[in-house]
Amino acid sequence: MKTKAPQRIKTISEFHRIRQLPKPLHPLISLVDYSLVRHSPDHNEVSWIQDFYSIGLKRNVCGKFRYGHQEYDFDEGLMSFIAPGQVFRIEVIPAAEDDPHPSGWLLLFHPDFLWNTPLASRIHQYEFFGYKVNESLFLSDKEEQIILEIMKSIEREYRENIDSFTQSIIISQLETLLNYADRFYQRQFTTRKITNHRVLDKLEELLSDYFNSDRLQTEGIPTVGFVAAELNASPNYLTGLLKSLTGKNTQQHIQDKLLEKAKERLTTTDLTVSEIAFELGFEHSQSFSKFFKAHTTLSPKEYRQSFIQ
């Protein structure tokens, strides 16, 4: 079936109306019982863009949802983060009759709710809002309970106590939730070391093949976006994963490989600095020299000379 164009959902009230949910108690923030959300049986693809943040905590989605060609393969609670303006698309895989119905919670909050608070600028630092669906956070029972308690505290606050303190209290709770999510993602990077090291191996192989071909001359230095796409990861997730394993982000890995290749060409060939710069995808030899000196404190000529003496 042909994929429909993404549907734009501008407000939380509109989300409630589309999903046939009761009107939200607060126009800018809402905790939704996911078991009440129904997808249309007329098609097996759901695609939308929303103008607000969404934090999902879901159960019983294993084998029922697919992002691209990847299926969820974990039984733990699944947590996902969607920022305003992101296109979210999942393919719903028909469930067996005896499968439990998906359940959980969706915390929705509009950027306007964060207005004039420190979190409005800090929220962009939480890189997991840029992760793909198949890079979601898988929680232990204890972790899931922590997140759920915070979500329910937020709900109680806007349900019972809308006053001059409501926003600041909920903002504080939101920030606590996001900080826990950050901690749990770092735990996930650690507990999946075998899988993550395979990604590191694939990165090394990808960069080696790229740098040992003529692609540097024809296509230029690989970007973080290109590398992430080749490894079927989002740029943010790949950077977070690599930093947890090596202390370096994706850009630094690319630069390390570029520097390694530059040193090899300077010490094993008679090519001029300009010729090496061209081989490595630099448009100007000055840019190459500046890059090399920034990483070694020596110019390319000085580095080459140090091996001759």
Mean pLDDT in consecutive groups of 10 residues from the start of the chain, 309 residues: 72 91 94 78 65 88 40 60 81 59 88 94 92 82 94 94 89 97 91 78 93 90 94 91 91 94 92 93 92 93 82
186 plus 209 within the same structural domain: no
The verdict on 86 and 33 lying in the same domain is yes
Structure tokens of 194? Answer: 């075998």
Q: Are residues 276 and 221 in the same domain?
A: yes
Verify that 216 and 167 share a domain, yes or no: no
Pairing relationship of beta strands 53-59 and 103-109 according to DSSP bridges = antiparallel
Q: pLDDT at position 162, please?
A: 82
Tokens at 10, concatenated: 């501008």
Note whether residue 177 is domain-resident. Answer: yes
Of 90, 138, 82, the closest CA to residue 111 belongs to 82
240/148 same-domain check: no
**Domain that residue 109 falls in:** 7-191
CATH code of the domain covering residue 299: 1.10.10.60
Closest CA to 52 of 4, 13, 23: 13
Predicted structure pTM score: 0.76
**pLDDT value of position 2:** 53
Token pair recorded at residue 238 = 């790949």
Residue 1 included in any domain: no
Domain shared by 179 and 292, yes or no: no
Which residue, 140, 156, 191, sits at the end of a domain? 191
Q: How many domains does the chain have?
A: 2
pLDDT of residue 177: 98
User: Which pLDDT score is estimated for 1?
Assistant: 45
Q: How far is 230 from 235, CA to CA, in rounded Å?
A: 11
Do the Cβ atoms of 107 and 154 come closer than 8 Å? yes
**Would you state the pLDDT for residue 4?**
62
